[in-house]
Amino acid sequence: MVHIDRLDAITEADHPLFELPPPPVSDVFRRISEQVAGMIGNGDCLQIGIGGIPNMVLALIRDRRHLGVHTEMLTDGIVELYRAGAIDGSRKAVMPDKIVCTFAVGQRRLYDFVDDNPLVAFYGADFTNAPYVTGKTTMSSASTVRSRSI
């Protein structure tokens, strides 16, 4: 949240938000994604990239539980993982119970999910990508939590 007093200017717009359609998935992407998905366990904390492989990996790990998210980019696949019950952030050491990101790019369902959602916390890349902070996301007193970049 940024208080309006901290802003110098506001521009209103009434055009639709940019939507990024999902990329096509190839057999090669599928095989790579299956290998990566096999390395992700319950309670891991995810950093998500862009493209066919990250999207496919997210689709393949819907059976995991207690995943956390601390990422620069928030994508449609995160919404689907959350709705499948895979994400709760309960084992994160940094901002537990929050999906932490810098920006969101995807389709309308992603934008609707982040709109006024107290579960999602937007921070600058100086926080989301800081090695010290991301390293701490892997520590938890509840269990061994690993950070996975996809």
Q: Model-level pTM?
A: 0.84
Residue 90 lies inside a defined structural domain of this protein: yes
Predicted confidence at residue 144, as pLDDT, reads 47
**Cα dihedral across residues 142, 143, 147, 150: positive or negative:** negative
Q: Find the domain containing 64 and state its range.
A: 26-149
Q: What are the per-10-residue average pLDDT scores of the chain (150 residues)?
A: 87 91 90 95 92 93 96 95 96 94 95 96 94 74 51
CATH value at residue 74: 3.30.750.70
Residue 11 lies inside a defined structural domain of this protein: no
Predicted confidence at residue 1, as pLDDT, reads 66
Predicted confidence at residue 150, as pLDDT, reads 62
Number of domains within the chain: 1
Residue 110 lies inside a defined structural domain of this protein: yes
Predicted confidence at residue 46, as pLDDT, reads 94
Q: Which of 12, 34, 72, 80 is catalytic?
A: 72
Residue 12 known to be catalytic? no
DSSP 98-125: -EEESEE-S-HHHHHHHTT-TTEEE--H
